[in-house]
Structures are given as structure tokens and as C-alpha cells.
Structure 1
Amino acid sequence: MAERSPRREKGPWHLPGLPAGRDLPSVDGAAASGRPFRVPRLERVDAETVAREVRAAAIEARRQLSTAEVAMAASRAALRLSDPEDPAGADALEILAAELSWPEPLSRETLAGMARGWTREALISLVDRELGGPAALDGWTTSSSAALAGRRRRAAGPLLLLVVHAGNVPGVTVTAALRGLLVRSGVLCRAPGSEPGLLACFARALAEEHPLLGRCLATTWWPSMHEAPWDAWVKRSGKVVVYGGDTAVAGVRTRVPAYVDLVAYGPRLGIAAWLPDAPLEETATALARDVCAYEQQGCVSPRLVYAVGREGRELGEALSRALEREVARLPRPAADVATAVALRSARAEAEFAALAGKPVHLEASGETAAWTVVVGGDPLRSDPLPRFVRVHAVDDVAELERLLAPLEGRLQSVGYAGTVGLDALADLAARLGACRVAPVGTLAWPPPDWLHDGRPQLLPLLAWTEWE
């Protein structure tokens, strides 16, 4: 392995092309924990300098490196984040503690889970699944089809890919950067203000592992009212990828020029079904793992659970016991004031509904905000609160289909426990446009080559050139 370059400063940015010693004005932000951070304030000329440097590096990397070599170096850098004995891994744990107030066990498990998709084998497998191998990324290919005789093709991402992050699931920023590097793009990232540091940590590790690839990735954050970096980067990018909620996606969509492709990953919902033959305690334990993974912030974690042909309260009580055990294994961070108030309000609403004689039952972790289970109530209501689950009883899958009709096109994952009615459940998930059907206990960690939002991960980033 090549000797690593020296470590660099630890700020939540990585901006190739700007002299390290240059004193730039700064702008302040605040992470999800409330902890302040400071990044360079990029004016148009600075952002253009970075874009030119990243573009030039991407061109040089295409000349010098094969896709397999890119996967190898990028994987080495990413996997360092999940190794607490590595300086980059120690930095990653420190960043998640500072920016999200996450306890170390939760951070370690999240990074280890994400890292399953960062291995060289996972990256190459993704290329194989979607393109049949890296040949089209590395040069011209010919087809065995008689209809395409005499034609050659090759594929590549844009020389500059702009990625906008407005979510708060740690590791997604790194995964998105890896996808861009795999399709041989230079990647410009606006990091999420909630946790801007992890992607910069990866970028520094990448620069240490492979300086040329380190110059193919830039990341920083800027406040929404500061237009200069956005204007400079979006006009030079061949595609824009955005991760975020409805408001964030809509805001980006209105600001992308018509000639620039937009790939949007908006909000989706995870649900689960407890089928008639599924064991109670095992199902509850598996669900608790899915709920607690990365604080239930991802669209793959279930927020609604349906007891099919069974008692919802029975599952709710078992799930509360399982969540108590899971919290002992993975303590959750202290809730900020706004989250604590929202949790108290949601719990109080359930309590008052029960007192009023409505078929609602609350299971909660006492005075702490560690977890909450509400049985009954609105069967489609989901709460964007940590470790908060609503459980509902339905007679059968047919009733479940009637209930879920308003969520068509908004479901990411449908989890299941049991086999009775499973075929009907899977068919229902497909009709509703759900992207994934998977056993409970695996919902939070999809396979590395999964269909994210129901589509391939690399193909939407590519353009094809045909030589006749």
C-alpha cells in the first residue's frame, strides 16, 4: 500500500484548490446538537477555483486509474471511519458525539453498519449488478447483439456532480460520495448543517490514501442565504443529486437550471407487518433493532407496525420490552428541547385519548425520552420522533391495502415477520410502489446494491456515449 500523505486540519470542510494557508472569511453554523461550527465563506471566485480543481482532478483520474483502482482506494479511506483504532475512525466518533450528541455505542454500530456498503467487494458488486462490470466505465465496449453490430459504447458520470445533503442520517454523505467517485465524477458536496463533519473526515482520509482522488471531492456547508457557492457549482455541474425532505427537494428543484439533470431522494416511510404465524418476542426484538438503528432517522426504519389478524396491544407491550432491552444496549442521545417537547406532547395526546375512552394505549419509557409505543389511533399517522412507533391491528392484508392506499408512492421499506399472507403482502407492497420488502431485523441495513427509492444507484448518474 502506498505511503499515506500527512493528516490535515479537522474542520468540517475539504476544498481542493484553495491554498491551505490562505486566510478566508468564515461563516458560522450549528449542528444538530446545537454545537457551533465554522467553515470558510466561499465567494464566487473561491467556489469557481474549487470546481476547476475538482474537475481537472476528475479528468486526470479517468486517465490514470481504472474503476477497480478507484474502488480500492475509496474503500480503504471509507473503512477507516469505522475503525476506532484508526485516527480517522477516532475523528468520526468524535464528530458524531459533537454534532449529534450520539453515545459511542450508537456511533460505532452505525458506522459499522454503513461500512458494509463501503467495502471494495460491495462497490465492485454494485458496478457488476448495474453495468455488468466496469468495462464501460474504463473504455469503449462492444455488444454481442446483432442489432448493435459495429457500435461501441462507454459510460461516465458528469465531470462535476453536485450533491446536496439536507438529511441527518450519518454515513449517507459518504455513500453518496462513493457513488459519484465510482462513476468517475468529480464530486462537489453541500454537507448537511446538522452533521457536516463526517464527509469532510472521509475526504481527508481519501486525500491521505490517494491524493489525486482526494482532489476529486470537495465538501463544505453554507447558509441558504449565501448564493455564491451554489451559483458557481450548479452551473458547472452535469447533474445534481439531492437528499432531503419535501421542502429541501422542492427548493433545490426550483434552482437547478433546465439543462442540468436532477436526481432526488425525497422523504419516504418505513412500515412493518406482524403476520398471523410470526412469534411474538422474536418479532418484537427484531423490530426494536430496526427502530433504534441510527435513531430511526432513515426512511428504511419502521414507524408504523401493523398486527395482521392479531392483537395490536399484545405486540405493543412486547415491543416496549424489546425497546427497553435495546436502549440498554444502545443508549440514545439526550433529546434537544424541541424534540423533548414534541415527545411529551405526543405522549400526552395518547394518554388523554385513552382517558377519553378511545381505543388508544401508551407504552413509554417513564420520565425519559428513550422510546415510545402508541397502540391505536390514526392508522396512517407517523411521527418524526426518535424511537417512536405506532402499532395498529388490522383484520387481514386486504384491510391493510385499503388503509395504506393514501401512501402510494411514499413507502420505502415494508418489513414482515411470518409467512401466512406474505405473498399477498409483497404484492400489496409492489402495487403501492414500495421499494423493498424485507424481514424485520434487516430493515435498517439494506444490502449495498439495493434499489434506493426503487431505482439503481449508479445508472441515474451516468450518461452514455455511442460510437457508430
Structure 2
Amino acid sequence: MGQWGDGGMDDWMNGRVPTFHLPALTPGVLLREFGEARLLVANLKADDIAALVCILRERAVWLRAQPMQRVIAALTEAAQRWLAEGSPYMRTTLDLLPRITGYSRPVIEHQLRHLLTQIIPDALKNLLSENEPPFPHHLPLVTCHLSLVTQFCAGNIPGLGIEAILFPLLAGTPTFIKASSGEPLLAALFADSLSDVDAGLGECLAVVWWEGGNRELELAACQLADVIVATGDDHTIEALRRLAPPTARFMAHPHKVSVGLVGKGYLTPETAAAIAKDVALFDQQGCLSPQVVFIETPSQTSAEECAREVRTALQGIDSKFPVGSLPISEIAGLQQSLATLEMSGALILRTSGICSRSVALPNASSPPTAYLRLRGGVFLQRIEDVSEVRHKLVAFSDRLQAVGTALPEQELANLTPFFYTLGVCRICPLGEMQTPPLGWCADGIDPVAGLMSSDHQT
């Protein structure tokens, strides 16, 4: 199992789990705490990062010479090893990620299996179908002149680190990955599993962690990059943008939110269960999490009935997707926010438990709530007619990622062009918001084709 032990929990208890994958470099290590886990991180200086970047760029010539069938076969085999019964990779991840991220084990396992089962030859070929000739030919040279993709990953959703490895390799480009400040494990572990399958491809990857905001290390990682992929809040993205060389393409994935929309008479128990699933997965921490669900209903009384239906569904889904753990300080802050909303006239319905989920239904006099995240909960907004959503969504216009719907077909068709004008990148039925297909275009960016061109974009 490469640099990793196969002791799972024993390795975690003894602080033996590393969070790096480094070709041709043996670093010193430090023991750091992430949530409730102790992990080994590489102790690197700017010169080490610069050396790694040069090593990866040199691997680009080798990678471009490989048949794409080799890349696809290796990625598929690595995913299958994770999915195999008793997999040490999956066991280690499911032991540690709940302690690192606070997400419950069932939520993490659901997400990983959803992602890994999509890593199959046909799906990977489909990601390349518009960018390369039929297999087993190599990628066309015109799209393969990039030598390095540098990525600054987020850790709010399990699986992002795996995708950060998939897409550059499919584009024929080595990648340097700076893991999320709060979740350093998954990308390094998947890189190691891929290296076990194909050592040559493993040498086209580097995964490291350092505390966010270290400009010296960030500059070293960016200075020779052809493409820089940055995920994070506005401050993080703008700081990294300033470090990007003028010749590099900068691909930003900033903070986004999503919403739901339910037509009159469509809030059935099945729709309530679908809303609950989208809310329960990742506890409203992802860009596809529906922060607000607009419900077309004739009166406040009927809206309150809808809120109770959703609360019942959230209570019911807790056994399948338990709410994640939170520090006491965050629980206190959440309860204070809910109390403030309640004092303003909002109806607050809570599920049972100390880490309960909540449904908040503001009345007409309640303050705007568009950007307040209810950890594990959701806002419902009553609208008298579905056309009102055009006005309501203006507040989200530069931050809207997805819309989950339960609407008559014609109403959805009428609204779809408007959603696209707001920058919406995903429109799907409620209950499917958190499970997009592999390679979906988050923020309107094709994750593979976007790495196949050196055109300068910001």
C-alpha cells in the first residue's frame, strides 16, 4: 500500500498516516492535528516546492507520450481497489475523514462510492469525447502542450481531491496539488493508490499540505504553472490570482450557493424526502447545497404545513445520513442565529438531538436570509406564484451554482433560460442536487477541456 500502512485505526492512533505524495523527494515530516486526527505532513520549504514543480514539468513529455488507454486503465483500476471489499484505502479513509471533517461516516461513504463507481472506462472516455480522437490514439499534440497544472483544493466536500487527480491526467498534464487546509488526506491517499497501480503515472502527481496563506510556498507552486485552479473564498482566490504568472490560465471556483424551487401542489412526502436528502448530504457546506427552497403555496398556513413536512423528512433521514459533529462553539453560534430568526418572526422547526437539523420559515417581516447557512438545516421561502422566483433570485445572481426543482414541465422550460442568465450551471430534480455526474461543469468550466488549452483566461 505504498507509503501508507494498512493498520487503519492503529495508524491513526499512533500518528503514522502521511498526507503527502511526492515524486523523487523524501521530506522531513511534522505531526499535526486535524479535527480529532493526528497526521503526518511534509515539512517543505519554498526551494522544495520549486524543485517539485520542475520535476513535474519534466514528466509532461513522458505523460504526453503515453496512450490515453493506459491512463484510463490505471484510474479505473485504482478506483476498483478502493471499492473492493476490505480495501485498506477505503478503510483508512472511513476511519479518518469523519474525525478530520466532522461529517458522519455514512455521508462520506455515500459520496465516495458515488464518485468511485463513475470512474469506469466509458465515463472517462466520455469526458474526452470532444477533445480527442477515438481510442487508443494519444491526445492530439495541439491540446497537449501544457506542462503543469497547479491546484489549490477545497476540502468541504469529500471526493474533490480525487477529481483533482483525475482531470489533469485525462488532459495529459502533470499536476501539483496543495491539499485543503482542513482536509489533507484524500488526495494524497488516492495518489498513492494510483501509484501502486502505475508508478509512472504516480510520478506525474505531487500532493502536499501546508497552512493556508503561506505566500512564499504558494508563489513557488504557481511560478511555473500553465494553469492554476483555485477553490475557496473570495479572499483566498484573489490572493492566489495575484501570484499567477501573466502567461498562466487562472480557473477560479469561488464560494457559491444553490436553491430549490417547488411548484404548487408538488410538495408531496416524496418531494420533502428529496429536499431532506439534498440538505443532509454535507450539512449544507457545499456549493450544491440548497440554502433556500422556494415553495409556491397560497398562504402562510399552508407554508407552515410544508415546513413541518420537511422537518419530518429531515428527522427520518437522520438514521441514513446522520448530521455531522460540530464544536460546541459552532453549535452555540447556530442556536443563537436560530433564536435571532425566531425573535424576528420566523417559524423554526428543529429535529431532535444536540446536533439537530432545522427548518426556518421566515414571514414577510423577517430580514433577508439569502447567505446565512444553516448547518444541516434549510430555509423555506413562501411564494404565491412561481414567477416570483425571478425577483427573489436576483440576490443570488453572482453566487448561484444550481437549482433543484419539483415543477410542472412547462414551468421549468419557461424558467430555464432565466436560470442560465444568472450563471446557474446545474438544473436537476430535487434529491439529485448533491450527486452530479463525473466531470460536470462547476462554475461553467469544463474540468478536462479547461486544462487542454494554454489560452490566458481569468
TM-score normalised by the chain length of structure 2: 0.89
2:10 paired residue number: none
Q: Measure the CA separation in 2 of the matches of 1:433 and 1:137.
A: 36
Alpha-carbon offset, residue 385 of structure 1: 3.8
CA RMSD of aligned residues (A): 2.4
> What corresponds to 1:158 in structure 2?
146
- Counterpart CA distance in 2 for 1:459 and 1:273 is 31
Aligned residue among 318, 326, 334 for 2:309: 318
Distance 1:62 1:427, change over 3 A: closer
* 2:263 maps to amino acid: L
In 2, Cα distance between equivalents of 1:79 and 1:455: 27
Deviates more, 1:420-429 or 1:251-260: 420-429
Is 1:430 matched with 2:431? Answer: no
Counterpart position of 1:16: 23
- In the TM superposition, 1:36-185 aligns within 5 A as 36-63=38-65, 65-83=66-84, 85-128=86-129, 130-131=130-131, 133=133, 138-140=138-140, 154-156=142-144, 158-185=146-173
Tell me if the contact between 2:226 and 2:454 (Cα under 8 Å) persists in the aligned partners.
Answer: no
1:343 alignment partner in structure 2: 334
- The superposition leaves residues 167-209 of structure 1 with CA deviations (integer Å, 9 ceiling, x where unpaired) of 4111111112210111111110110021110111101101101
Deviation (angstroms), 1:139: 4.9
1:462 to 433, 452, 455: 452
CA shift, 1:52, in A, is 2.8
1:373 maps to 2:359? yes
Task: Provide, for residues 91-111 of structure 1, a one-character-per-residue CA deviation record: whole Å limited to 9, x for no partner.
Answer: 221221231233322221121
- Secondary structure of 1:453's aligned partner: helix
CA 1:106/1:45 → structure 2, altered by over 3 Å: closer, same or farther? same
Q: Which amino acid aligns with 2:22?
A: L
What 5-or-longer segments of structure 1 have no aligned partner? 141-152
Q: Deviations over 1:114-157 (max 9, x none)?
A: 224433322211111x42646798254xxxxxxxxxxxx62126
Give the 3 Å change call, closer, same or farther, for CA 307–200 of structure 1 in structure 2: same
1:415–1:437 contact (8 Å) kept in structure 2: yes
Separation in 2 of the partners of 1:166 and 1:329?
A: 25
Query: What amino acid is aligned across from residue 364 of structure 1 in structure 2?
Result: R
Query: Which residue among 250, 257, 264 is the counterpart of 2:252?
Result: 264
1:361 aligns with 2:347: yes
Residues 222-245 of structure 1, C-alpha deviations (whole Å, 9 max, x = no match): 124544432322112111001112
Structure 1: distance between partners of 2:225 and 2:76: 25
Q: Which residues of structure 2 form unaligned runs of 5+? A: 6-16
Match of 2:401 in 1: 412
Match of 1:398 among 377, 387, 397: 387
Pairing of 1:257-296 with structure 2 (within 5 A): 257-296=245-284
* Residue 434 to residue 139, structure 1, CA distance change in 2 (3 Å): closer
Q: How many residues align?
A: 437
- Secondary structure, aligned partner of 1:421: helix
Structure 2: which amino acid aligns with 1:219? Answer: V
Matched, 1:450 2:436: no
Distance 1:445 1:122 in 2: 15
Secondary structure of 1:463's match? Answer: coil
Question: Against the structure 1 CA distance between its residues 314 and 84, is the aligned structure 2 distance closer, same or farther, given a 3 Å change threshold?
Answer: farther
Shift of 1:294: 2.5
Percent identity, aligned pairs only, is: 24
Q: Compute the displacement of 1:30 (Å).
A: 4.2
Cα–Cα, structure 1 residues 425 and 366, in superposed 2: closer, same or farther, change >3 Å?
same
Partner of 2:12: none
Is 1:203 aligned to residue 191 of structure 2?
yes
Q: Which is worse superposed, 446-455 or 430-439?
A: 446-455
